[in-house]
Amino acid sequence: MDSFLMHSLAEAARMLWSLDPELYFIVYVSLYVSFMSTLIASVMGIPLGFIVAVREFRGKRVLITVLNTLLALPTVVIGVLGYAFLSRRGVFGDLGLLYTPWAIVIGQVILILPWVMIFTLSAVSRIDQRYRRTAMTLGASTLQASLVIAREARFGLLAAVIAAFGRVIAEVGIAMMLGGNIKGFTRTMTTAMALEHNKGEFVLALALGVVLLTVSLFMNIFLQVVQGRYGSAR
């Protein structure tokens, strides 16, 4: 087992060191779809989560329960539903999105939107009500006061983005079912791993896993640096 693991680590290092264009394209596709889906989900989910947190409305508790339930939504369910909508016979079949990176992005946005909303809701709900009141009494408009709350909740909001990114870069169901694992087009690190595993290339599969973890590690280090920089009093 040890030699198997060491062999895999060595293979992973060799793959990264050899600047294999195929590998780097797989990493690029993984990062591209993960960035895009995280960006879109954050742009939609942070304001929506914010509104749910600060506004009182009928059905709020039901909505939160639904969002919490959606956290457990399996990727294959999204894959099947996405396929139903994006395939040629589907409602959005004419758009020709199936088996493209954008199909993966759409599926991943559906996957992590509830995550971003729930994390945002949780972060904003914990912020002291006095921040809003203080901003308002100092002359802030509703939007300016909301920005104050967002600033105070920035650690939680960044955690939402980090968690969402971590969720999509590691998922395989959506990328496989909506992306199709097409070499040089929609193949991501996770679908490549699944393929290599099916082929019996365990060393290569594990090596890709190590690459994935390495990329995730650097992404998290980057986000932590951003968090630390903007977390200090300036």
Partner 1 sequence: MSLFVLKDVQQIFKGRTVLDLPELVLEAGQSYALLGPNGSGKTTLLHILALLHAPAEGRVFYKGREINWKANYLTPIRRELVLVDQHPIMFSTTVVKNVEYGLKVRGFNSAKRRQTAMESLERVGMQDFANRPAHQLSGGETQRVAIARAMACSPEVMLFDEPTASVDVENQAVIEKIIESIRKEKGITVIFSTHKRLEASRLAENRIFLFEGKLTGPGGDNLLPGSVVRRNGRNVCILREKVEVEISRVPEGPCRVLVNPEKVRIYSMDRAGKMFSDGLIPGKVLQMTADGEYIKVLMDIGFPIRSVMTRQEAAESGILVGDEVMVAFDPGAVQPAP
With binding defined as CB under 8 A, does residue 57 bind partner 1? no
Using CB under 8 A, which residues numbered 14 to 53 contact partner 1? Answer: none
For the record, the structure tokens of 50 come out as 């914010």
Residue with smaller CB distance to partner 1, 59 or 139: 139
Asked if 124 and 156 touch (Cβ cutoff 8 Å), the reply is: yes
For the record, the structure tokens of 114 come out as 């509830």
Q: How far is CA 227 from CA 3, 142, 191, 232, in A?
A: 38, 26, 31, 9
Interface pattern 75-94 for partner 1 (x via CB under 8 A): --------------------
Least separation in angstroms between CB 141 and partner 1: 5
Asked if 180 and 101 touch (Cβ cutoff 8 Å), the reply is: no
Least separation in angstroms between CB 149 and partner 1: 10
Query: How many Å apart are CA 228 and CA 230, to the nearest integer?
Result: 6
Residue with smaller CB distance to partner 1, 68 or 144: 144
Using left for φ > 0, alpha for ψ between -120 and 50, and beta otherwise, residue 99 falls in left
Using CB under 8 A, which residues numbered 170 to 229 contact partner 1? Answer: none
Using CB under 8 A, which residues numbered 116 to 155 contact partner 1? Answer: 128, 130-131, 133-142, 144, 148, 151-152
Least separation in angstroms between CB 73 and partner 1: 35
| Widest Cα–Cα separation across the chain | 66
Give contact residues for partner 1 (rule: CB under 8 A): 128, 130-131, 133-142, 144, 148, 151-152, 233-234
